[in-house]
């Protein structure tokens, strides 16, 4: 075996490493499907895609790269479709531009050497090393700027990223397909597409920072609401305690007069008013504030409410997303229940917990009087504002899709149920 053959076989090692780095980058964009078969298919595809040779006017490989990449993201990964398409829009120009640039540059440099064996040896050694160094730099860059995007970005942010990077995708594809005879004229275009998409990923850090600041602002607002409600409850309790002597005097007079039934009714009313309106449903003060507000709202509307919350092991879901889930579903449940004329039939049951194997389960059931209406797969309410139809459940659906969970909506003639399951929290 000659020296070039040996170096070619050794060069397969960095090719396998860069395929692994590419696969890890894709996992920052979307969650891979469970199963060893999907993992193996994903890694093999990444190794092939990241090492695909791109020549000028290479229609077959350019189109094959795009189609294969799209199939990989749609089949081997799960989550929002815009999130998976973002991986293609961002990474496809990076792959094509650098593979074309490195191959063409080595060809031009190698052609300046007069010794054919030296040309082959130079390209065989330099090609895998350059690719590996570039992919390692891309991996570190993405790990720094994109690690939080998958959890925090919504549909609109992913769509915006898709649109921005679509220009680079179209530009590098058409440029290579219609490359001039002097292929080195294409080098600035390839470099520009490469730099542009890396710049877009750098911008995601500012998006993430903005989202975090908005979340912190909402957290502070919820905490403020929680403590204000707590202070109001404490004030009411102090007032009742101040008037306790008067209440005891009234109860004593009722018993002495033999009016036992009125005395017991009076005592029950006092007990209800003295009961603290702020309850501890979970340890997170933000979520607890939302649950208390909705619980008290339901009680004021004469709704029989049952909450069973166990979120002590919750670590992977941010409080704002959970507040979105609880507040939107509870608002819909209260709205539907108050339309029932008979107070005894107004009921809301909410169960939420994190299982031992790390699954978040959520189920809320409420009674209803009106029939559920659907239009083009979207549930409609009977609100006067047409623009508000189904927005609550749409927000819930977006939150669930962000964490690659499942949402199930079912209803009968007199009940409505929303079930959510999110894994790996």
Q: Return the CATH class of domain 280-425.
A: alpha beta
Annotate 20-48 with DSSP letters as a single string: HHHHHHHHHHSEEPSSHHHHHHHHHHHHH
- Cβ neighbourhood burial of 155 (10 Å; 0-12, 13-18, 19+): middle
pTM above 0.85, yes or no: no
* pLDDT level of residue 387 (50, 70, 90 thresholds): very low
Dihedral sign for Cα atoms in the order 272, 278, 282, 286: positive
Rounded mean pLDDT of 345-360? Answer: 88
Rounded mean pLDDT of 246-263? Answer: 79
Q: Which residue has the tokens 């979207």?
A: 378
- Cβ neighbourhood burial of 413 (10 Å; 0-12, 13-18, 19+): exposed
Inter-residue contact 287 to 353 (CB < 8 Å): no
Query: What's the pLDDT at 388?
Result: 40
pLDDT digits (tens, 9 = 90+) for 261-298: 877 787 777 666 655 556 778 877 778 878 888 888 88
C-alpha to C-alpha distance for 111 and 382, rounded to whole angstroms: 74
Residue predicted with more confidence, 358 or 19: 19
DSSP helix/strand/coil, 421: strand
Report which of 297, 325, 299 is spatially closest to residue 311, judged by C-alpha positions. 325
- H or E element: which one contains 67? helix 59-76
Rounded mean pLDDT of 29-44? Answer: 87
From-to residues of CATH 3.30.565.10 in the chain: 280-425
Query: What's the pLDDT at 112?
Result: 62
pLDDT digits (tens, 9 = 90+) for 191-228: 888 888 888 888 877 777 777 777 667 666 766 665 66
Inter-residue contact 373 to 379 (CB < 8 Å): yes
pLDDT digits (tens, 9 = 90+) for 130-179: 888 888 888 888 877 776 676 667 777 788 888 888 888 888 888 888 88
């Amino acid at each position: 075996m000659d020296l070039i053959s040996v170096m070619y076989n050794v060069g397969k090692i960095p090719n396998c490493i860069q395929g692994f780095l590419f696969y890890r980058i894709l996992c920052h964009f979307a969650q891979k499907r469970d199963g060893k078969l999907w993992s193996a298919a994903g890694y093999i595809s990444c190794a092939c895609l990241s090492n695909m040779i791109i020549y000028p006017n290479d229609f077959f490989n350019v189109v094959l790269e795009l189609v294969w990449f799209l199939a990989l993201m749609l089949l081997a990964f799960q989550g929002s479709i815009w999130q998976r398409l973002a991986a293609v829009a961002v990474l496809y120009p990076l792959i094509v531009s650098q593979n074309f640039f490195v191959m063409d540059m080595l060809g031009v440099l190698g052609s300046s050497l007069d010794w054919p064996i030296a040309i082959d040896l130079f390209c065989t050694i330099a090609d895998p090393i350059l690719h590996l160094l570039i992919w390692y730099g891309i991996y570190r860059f993405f790990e720094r700027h994109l690690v939080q995007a998958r959890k925090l970005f919504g549909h609109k942010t992913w769509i915006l990223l898709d649109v921005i990077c679509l220009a680079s995708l179209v530009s590098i594809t058409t440029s290579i397909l219609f490359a001039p005879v002097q292929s080195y004229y294409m080098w600035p275009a390839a470099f520009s597409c490469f730099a542009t998409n890396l710049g877009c990923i750098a911008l995601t850090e500012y998006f993430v920072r903005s989202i975090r600041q908005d979340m912190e602002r909402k957290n502070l607002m919820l905490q403020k609401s929680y403590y204000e409600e707590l202070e109001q409850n404490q004030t009411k309790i102090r007032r009742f305690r101040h008037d306790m002597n008067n209440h005891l005097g009234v109860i004593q007079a009722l018993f002495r007069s033999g009016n036992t039934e009125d005395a017991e009714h009076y005592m029950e009313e006092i007990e209800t008013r003295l009961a603290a309106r702020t309850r501890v449903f979970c340890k997170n003060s933000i979520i607890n504030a939302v649950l208390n507000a909705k619980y008290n709202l339901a009680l004021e509307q004469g709704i029989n409410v049952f909450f069973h919350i166990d979120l002590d092991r919750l670590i992977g879901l941010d409080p704002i997303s959970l507040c979105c889930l609880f507040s939107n579903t509870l608002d819909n449940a209260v709205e539907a229940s108050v339309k029932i004329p008979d107070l005894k039939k107004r009921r809301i049951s909410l169960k939420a917990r994190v299982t031992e194997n790390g699954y978040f389960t959520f189920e809320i059931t409420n009674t209803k009087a009106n029939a559920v209406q659907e239009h083009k797969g979207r549930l409609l309410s009977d609100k006067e504002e047409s623009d508000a139809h189904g927005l609550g459940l749409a927000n819930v659906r977006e939150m669930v899709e962000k964490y690659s969970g499942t949402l199930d909506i079912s209803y009968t003639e007199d009940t409505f149920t929303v079930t959510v399951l999110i894994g790996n929290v």
